Homo-oligomer: A and B are copies of this chain.
Amino acid sequence: MKKLINRADDVVRESLEGFAAAHAGMVRVNFDPIYVARIDAPVRGKVGVISGGGSGHEPLHCGYVGMGMLDAACPGAIFTSPTPDQMLEASKAVDGGAGVLHIIKNYTGDLMNFEMAAELARSEGIEIDTVIIDDDVAVTNSLYTAGRRGVGLTVLAEKITGAAAEERRSLKEVGDICRQVKDWGRSMGMALTSCTAPHIGHAMFELPDDEMEIGIGIHGEPGRKRMPVQPADEITDMLMEPIISDLPYRRGDEVLLFVNGMGGTPLSELYIVYRRAAEIAAQHGLKVVRSLVGPYITSLEMAGCSITLLKMDETLLKLWDAPIKTPGLRWGI
């Protein structure tokens, strides 16, 4: 294992110390329990939006704390959901009196820990709403699984929901916007290589030099099927097909197309995927009105990508375009 780290046990803390130093103007990092809050939290009268999950997906979630997106994020150990006390303290820290929305990626661990946090927060008088993002169409038989995983759509949900909260909408409205995003978005990902978690010290799965995994999650879990590496266009087809056929997108629908890098894929390759994905969208009569291309929800240094398609309407468009100022996403301000 070769990593720019000191000790495996210190990765999350030291990384957050650097993050705190680099973005002192935007965020404040609490270390016991660990959470990152926007510098001006709590914002009076505004719904607090928080998320969290295992570390190793940076910039998600901590990089999205700031004006127009998250009020706080709770990072767990690498690929391990955070603990309830983190979400409880974060909820208290961002509650401006209008309640707090928890955006959760659908993983057993995340669900249970957030659930406990919500119970505790409610018992302390904070109103909590919860939205579970489960956009991964690679998980087909949700009846026999923990359900679809939360992957790329999470980034879009946090941005759009954060913008809705910024407009001082009510907890109910903010939650409903987030649920709309959850309902209107679908994703699928693939990996060319595995990744190495610092505490494990070797690749999470072995992938021969001429094979790839289709339908991976974001935690170094192997995917649903392994096959010989294909050209980028064919791979893109394999990801787009299940996405488009899952959500009944209709000709004329406006969509946001998000091509995400898993951490170790050059940006130039993501644009090659974007090129083909946009072509396919056009073939289906979908109008790509917004785009996002880059490593926004990663699996350490894994090589690979995911594609997310989110159907847009006027409200979502306006919220997507709204000003945002976070370490990981920024525009308009």
> B-contacting residues of A (Cβ < 8 Å)?
2-7, 11-12, 14-19, 21-23, 55-56, 58-59, 63, 192-193, 209-210, 212, 229, 231-233, 235, 257, 259, 263-276, 278, 288, 291, 293, 295, 298, 300-301, 303-305, 325, 327, 330-333
Contact = CB atoms under 8 A, between A and B. Distances in A.
- Leading 5 A-B pairs by shortest Cβ distance: A18-B275, A18-B271, A4-B269, A58-B267, A18-B274
Given A14-B272, A21-B274, A271-B19, A4 B63 contact: no
15 contacts: A2-B229, A3-B192, A4-B192, A5-B231, A6-B233, A18-B270, A21-B291, A22-B278, A22-B291, A58-B268, A265-B301, A267-B295, A330-B330, A331-B333, A332-B333
A15 B268 contact: yes
A254 to B, nearest CB: 15
A294 to B, nearest CB: 8
Given A18-B274, A21-B288, 10 more contacts: A2-B192, A2-B212, A5-B272, A12-B268, A14-B275, A16-B271, A17-B271, A18-B271, A58-B268, A331-B331
Given A11-B268, A269-B15, A330-B330, A22 B263 contact: no
B232 A6 contact: yes
A273 B18 contact: yes
Nearest to A22: B291
A315 B198 CA distance: 42
Nearest to A23: B291
Task: Select the residue from A231, A259, A271 with max chain B CB neighbours within 10 A.
Answer: A271
A330 B330 CA distance: 6
Contact of A298 (B209, B259, B267, B278): B267
A273 B18 CA distance: 7
Contacts of A12: 268
Contacts of A288: 21
Task: Select the residue from A4, A15, A273, A274 with max chain B CB neighbours within 10 A.
Answer: A4
Task: Select the residue from A16, A193, A274, A303 with max chain B CB neighbours within 10 A.
Answer: A274
